[in-house]
Amino acid sequence: MNALHIKILYIISFLFFLGQFTFFPSFSNFLKWNTIGAVIFFIYASYHQHVLHRRLASLRQTTPTPKPTTTTTATTSTLTKSSIYLIPKGDWFDYISSAHYFAEILIYFSFVILTKGMNLTIWLILIWTIIGLGIMARENEFWGRERFGEKWPKRWIIIPFVH
CA distance 116 to 40: 15
- 109 contacts 125 by C-beta, under 8 angstroms: no
Q: Report d(CA 156, CA 163) in Å as an integer.
A: 6
**pLDDT of 85-122, one tens digit each?**
788 888 899 899 999 999 999 999 999 998 888 888 88
What pLDDT is stored for residue 82 in this prediction? 47
Of 125, 103, 105, 106, give the one whose Cα is nearest residue 23. 125
Q: Is the pTM of this model over 0.85?
A: no
Q: What is the pLDDT of residues 14-26, one digit of tens each?
A: 665 555 455 555 5
